[in-house]
Amino acid sequence: MNECKKLLNKYSKLQKINQNLLSIYNSFSKKGLCREDALIQGIDITKKIRIMRKKSENYYNKLKIHIELCIDVINKRNKHLLDAISRST
């Protein structure tokens, strides 16, 4: 459960960074193209993840894997947004 909490903290920080980058990208009048291939179907990075208490170890393992996938998707998305921001005017 502690590993899930640490990953969830990292996930929430990356979500905030993603929102800031997205607002910067949307503020440009002439936008550079942003690649959307970083998104994996079935993973919603805008959704808030909650940890339930008193669950089995299997639940925490699956949740940990899901959070790690979300972190990877957000990292890729942030990288693509930074590239698009650098190309925007």
Cα–Cα distance between 78 and 69 in angstroms, integer? 14
pLDDT at 14: 94
pTM above 0.85, yes or no: no
pLDDT at 40: 61
How does DSSP classify residue 21? H
Domains in the chain: boundaries: 2-87
Collapsing DSSP states into helix, strand and coil, what is residue 88?
A: coil
Q: Name residue, tokens 């998104």.
A: 39
pLDDT digits (tens, 9 = 90+) for 21-79: 989 988 888 877 776 655 566 777 888 888 888 889 999 999 999 999 999 989 988 89
